[in-house]
Amino acid sequence: MKIRKNCDGHAPFTRRHFLFGAASASLLAPHADADVVTSRNAKPRGTAKTVIFINMNGGPSHLDTWDPKDGPWNPADAKIQQLTGGIALSKTYFPNLSNKSDDLLLLRSCSSWEAAHERGQFYIQTSHSSNPALMAETPHVGAVVGYEKGFNGLLPPFLAFNQTLQGSTFLGGPYMPMMPPASSGGLSTLTHNFFGSTSQQQFQSRFQLLKDLDAPIRNNPPNLDVAAYSGYYDRAKVMMYNSAVDAVFKFSSDDDKRYGSNSIGRGLIVARNTIQRKMGVAYISVTQGGWDTHIGQFDRGQNSNIYGLTTDLDRAVSNLVDDLKASGDLATTLIVMMGEFGRTPGVLNTRNGRDHYRPAMSVAMIGGGVKGGRVIGATDATGSAIVDPGWSAGRAIYPDDIAATVYSALGIDWTKGIDDTPSGRRFYYINSAVDGAFMPVEEVFG
């Protein structure tokens, strides 16, 4: 397929999603001709088939989630308890996950490069800094995973619920995140019954007519956006009038209540469905917003407070773990829970909340080859500074290392780079990983 280019030699591209009803499937042509480089020394673990990345958007307080400390900042009902392998959790905030400490791994020696929300979110979603010169061609980690793993089922390899900042950029439309709504009724646009019993036949004939009429421009598109349509619509068409796809996006009211009847719960229900029904999804991002707790973080009257946030997360993740265990899928599903940075340690600020804090943060993992019932790393008595990195690198664990760990768990060489980019600059999956500056936290696998 030949694409006409701009005068600078690059095909114009804008980051956007093409929507085929609510089923926003896949768009641009795959980046099949990439010139890939690697260190050739990486040894990925390959313990997981799918990653569920729970994005705690807003920057969760490590001191009030995965790294609690006794101190005057805790409310009287915090009930912090020591559990398996050095794990401590609040029984009030995490009553269900406290009973699953054998599955839970906590990384308490993490640090962020950023202390601003959008930049921090860009970093944890891409493992790259938000360099204005390169942002437009920096793909989401989920898109890289999709590019590596390819299509192995009826759904695209990358799903995202509630929010994502970045798509597949130069890797191509098939690896864009499918961003469906999560509701018990499923997707209303997978079928169109305007013509009654002949609706599917009418759809097929009209789709073919569209392809015939568009053939000249599809064969010689003026830019990448136009080139997207053919691949996008062909992928979307596979989902139409398909009862198996339809069933994945539906769930019962009992499941909805069990998972909390909220956005994170519903996203995780659909994530569970795609995994259990082997739909070929390799990376699922589910965002839980509200973690920017500058004001009244223990005030139940606030829209976002620690009690509500942790209750929603605890209930949804605990039920996800139970369901994946029951189906035998937890062993090959890596669940990662983290935000873009930590929050100010020790006593609360003058508004009874916590502010942005870069030097210390925590990450939680379950399943996918991770050995639970343990803690890696430690901070001091107030959560202010890392006092024990707890892993072989002997330093803080950064988002780059978390991304490398995710890639390794999925069997992907995290040191790879691609030369054939729109700017001509090499895109590394993780910058400086080829030189060993960042690497998987091998200790998470036991």
Residues 406-438 as b or e (16 or more Cβ within 10 Å = b): bbbbbebbbbbbbeebbeeeebbbbbebbeeeb
* Under 8 Å between Cβ of 366 and 328: no
pTM (predicted TM-score): 0.90
pLDDT score of 42: 92
β-bridge pairing 36-37 and 386-388: unpaired
- Per the structure block, which two tokens stand in for 264? 């994170």
- Sign of the C-alpha dihedral computed for residues 430, 435, 438 and 444 taken in this order: positive
pLDDT score of 241: 86
Residues 238-274 as b or e (16 or more Cβ within 10 Å = b): ebbbeeebeebbebeeebbebbbebbbbbbbbbbbbb
Residues 155-189 as b or e (16 or more Cβ within 10 Å = b): bbbbbbbbbbbbbbbbbbbbbbbbbbbbbeebbeb
Q: Look at residues 279, 312, 305, 301 and name the one whose alpha carbon lies nearest to residue 291.
A: 305
Q: Look at residues 268, 239, 48 and name the one whose alpha carbon lies nearest to residue 156.
A: 239
pLDDT, averaged in runs of 10, over the chain (446 residues): 38 35 37 61 96 98 98 97 97 98 98 98 97 94 97 94 90 88 89 85 88 86 68 76 92 98 98 97 98 98 97 98 98 98 98 98 98 98 98 98 98 95 93 95 97
pLDDT score of 224: 61
pLDDT score of 22: 33
Domain borders along the chain are: 36-187+242-445, 191-233
Backbone angles phi, psi at 131, to 5 degrees: -70, 115
State the Cα–Cα distance between residues 335 and 325, nearest whole angstrom.
13
What ranges in 241-281 are assigned the alpha helix state H?
Answer: 243-248, 253-258, 263-276
State the Cα–Cα distance between residues 367 and 322, nearest whole angstrom.
11
* Under 8 Å between Cβ of 85 and 317: no
- CATH architecture designation of domain 36-187+242-445: 3-Layer(aba) Sandwich (3.40)
Give counts: helices (H), strands (E), the chain: 9, 16
State the Cα–Cα distance between residues 434 and 428, nearest whole angstrom.
8
* Under 8 Å between Cβ of 283 and 141: yes
Burial of 9 (0-12, 13-18, 19+ CB in 10 A): exposed
pLDDT score of 435: 92
Q: Look at residues 185, 172, 110 and name the one whose alpha carbon lies nearest to residue 400.
A: 110
* Under 8 Å between Cβ of 286 and 263: no
